[in-house]
């Protein structure tokens, strides 16, 4: 049988391991550029609460928005050189488009 002292010690070890795991699993920011009237990638998978940083690296304005009911947002007019951070809280698939350039498309999948 395990003595109470050892039991406490193993509980402490388990808690420390959990804390370390959470620390290693911290939320990230995902940079995605707009260049040559395209997104730098066509799809990305992120965790709930993580952010995508949209940067306009073009010489034209963009207007990035979510076409989906999951994680709706709109950045509105974004001038060349500007960056905008968008937090994705809800799990699911979000289709991101540009209101000025209909060919621009990015799929953001949020899952745990
Ligand atoms: Cu655009």
Does 76 map to a domain?
A: yes
Domain extent, residue 87, equals 27-110
Task: Give pLDDT tens digits for 46-67.
Answer: 999 999 999 999 999 999 999 9
Ligand 1 centre to CA of 69 (Å) is 21
42, part of any domain: yes
Task: Check which CATH number belongs to the domain holding 44 and give it.
Answer: 2.60.40.420
Could you tell me the distance, in angstroms and rounded to a whole number, from the CA of residue 1 to the centre of ligand 1? 67
Residue 85, domain member (yes or no): yes
Smallest CA-to-CA distance from 63 within 98, 96, 90 is with 98
Distance between Cα 94 and ligand 1 center (Å): 17
Neighbour count for residue 90 (Cβ, 10 Å): 13
The pTM for the full model equals 0.78
Helix residue ranges per DSSP H, 1-112:
4-24
Q: List, for residues 6-46, the tens digit of each pLDDT value.
A: 656 665 666 566 555 555 568 999 999 999 999 999 999 99
Tell me the CA–centroid distance for residue 17 and ligand 1, in Å: 45
Domain-embedded: residue 100: yes
């Amino acid at each position: 049988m395990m003595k109470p002292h050892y039991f406490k010690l193993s509980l402490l070890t388990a808690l420390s391991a959990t804390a370390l795991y959470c620390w290693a699993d911290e939320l990230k920011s995902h940079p995605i550029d707009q260049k040559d009237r395209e997104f730098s990638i066509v799809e990305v998978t992120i965790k709930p609460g993580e952010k995508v940083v949209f940067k306009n690296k073009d010489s034209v304005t963009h207007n990035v928005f979510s076409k989906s009911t999951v994680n709706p947002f709109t950045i509105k007019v974004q001038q060349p050189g500007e960056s905008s951070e968008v937090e994705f809280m809800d799990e699911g698939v979000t289709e991101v488009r540009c209101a000025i350039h209909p060919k621009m498309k990015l799929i953001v999948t949020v899952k745990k």
